[in-house]
């Protein structure tokens, strides 16, 4: 059994490789829900939906959000009517979000996701990290703001003092999925706002210490694949590079994979964990994704 801890950008790229070599029934993905919220009356669980679209081959790989070949008639019409949506949501993507919103009137997030993943023909398990609503605030030089205000309205420009989020409890099966796994994979997602909210939930670190954990760095040098991870890492007191990420996971990490160009960091990383590998982690092609998945799983 393989369990993957996922955010919404870097890790789904790796998932495309993993799902080619692992039976879907043997794969569980635990997904960050820190940024979930309501927009334009619909419940948006961006990272969860990205994982669903990735597993069902519907993901828009140009932006790693929403469905490929989607239309934006509703979005455009809302703008014509004078309502400017914060998020640009496609029509098919909006339909999935509307259904989830309606399901949440009677069901938990976990139950709603199960209905949707079954409807999409996904045989792997997809678990939200929690059924409870998370709240995240970004403490910036311009004051406290929501994650989406910081990321979208402010374009991640303000300097960050801290990232603050509340503690939630794991969804049903999260701890068991980790403990029962032969291998847990932490993909190259933002360590602070995508992965740390998962591992900071009660019982998760304890479970991770009982299994074998591999992480892929989201940094190449001091640059990230996407998003403001560098600002968040520095705000939390970590280096904004592969070494800093290793420190975030040092309580339980067994194997760490960094990019070929980051060999200079190996000596520092070896002082934190003994096993570090260098590979191509940029993952532009499906062959590169499959190769890295095979390296991780020693196939």
Nearest to 27 by CA among 297, 298, 299, 280: 297
Q: What is the pLDDT, as a whole number, of residue 229?
A: 85
Q: What is the pLDDT, as a whole number, of residue 215?
A: 96
Q: Output the six-digit token pair for 99.
A: 């259904």
Task: Grade residue 226 by pLDDT with cuts at 50, 70 and 90.
Answer: low
Mean pLDDT of the chain: 93
The pTM (predicted TM-score) of the whole model is 0.94
Write the burial class of residue 178 (CB in 10 Å: 0-12 exposed, 13-18 middle, 19+ buried). buried
Q: What is the pLDDT, as a whole number, of residue 274?
A: 83
Per DSSP, 38 falls in state E
Segment 26-46 mean pLDDT: 93
pLDDT digits (tens, 9 = 90+) for 244-292: 999 999 999 999 999 999 999 899 999 999 899 999 998 899 999 999 9
pLDDT digits (tens, 9 = 90+) for 137-196: 999 999 998 888 888 888 888 999 999 998 899 999 999 999 999 999 999 999 999 999
pLDDT over 90 (residue 23) = yes
Q: What is the pLDDT, as a whole number, of residue 20?
A: 95
Q: Output the six-digit token pair for 95.
A: 């339909």
Per DSSP, 140 falls in state E
Question: In DSSP terms, which residues pair with 239 in a beta bridge?
Answer: none
pLDDT digits (tens, 9 = 90+) for 52-94: 999 999 999 998 899 999 999 999 999 999 998 888 999 999 9
Q: What is the pLDDT, as a whole number, of residue 171?
A: 97
């Amino acid at each position: 059994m393989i369990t993957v801890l996922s955010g919404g950008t870097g890790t789904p790229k790796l998932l495309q490789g993993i799902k080619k070599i692992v039976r879907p029934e043997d794969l569980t993905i635990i997904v960050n829900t820190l940024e979930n919220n309501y927009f334009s009356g619909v419940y948006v669980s961006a990272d969860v939906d990205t994982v669903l679209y990735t597993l069902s081959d519907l993901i828009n790989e140009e932006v790693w959000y929403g469905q490929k070949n989607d239309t934006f008639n509703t979005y455009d019409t809302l703008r014509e009517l004078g309502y400017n949506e914060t998020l640009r949501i496609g029509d098919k993507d909006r339909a999935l979000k509307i259904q989830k919103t309606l399901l949440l009137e009677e069901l938990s997030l976990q139950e709603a996701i199960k209905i949707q993943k079954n409807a999409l023909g996904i045989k792997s398990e997809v678990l939200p990290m929690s059924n409870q609503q998370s709240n995240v605030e970004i403490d910036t030089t311009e004051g406290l703001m929501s994650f989406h205000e910081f990321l979208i309205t402010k374009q991640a420009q303000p300097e960050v003092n801290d990232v603050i989020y509340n503690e939630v409890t794991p969804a049903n099966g999260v701890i068991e999925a980790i403990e029962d796994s032969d291998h847990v994979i932490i993909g190259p997602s933002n360590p602070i706002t995508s992965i740390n909210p998962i591992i900071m939930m009660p019982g998760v670190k304890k479970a991770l210490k009982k299994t074998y954990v591999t992480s892929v760095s989201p940094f190449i040098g001091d640059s990230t694949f996407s998003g403001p991870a560098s600002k968040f890492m520095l705000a939390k007191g970590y280096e904004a590079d592969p070494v800093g990420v290793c420190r975030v996971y040092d309580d339980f990490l067994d194997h760490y994979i960094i990019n070929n160009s980051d060999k200079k960091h190996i000596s520092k990383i070896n002082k934190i964990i003994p096993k570090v590998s260098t590979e191509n982690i940029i993952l532009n092609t499906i062959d590169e994704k499959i190769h890295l998945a095979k390296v991780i799983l020693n196939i």
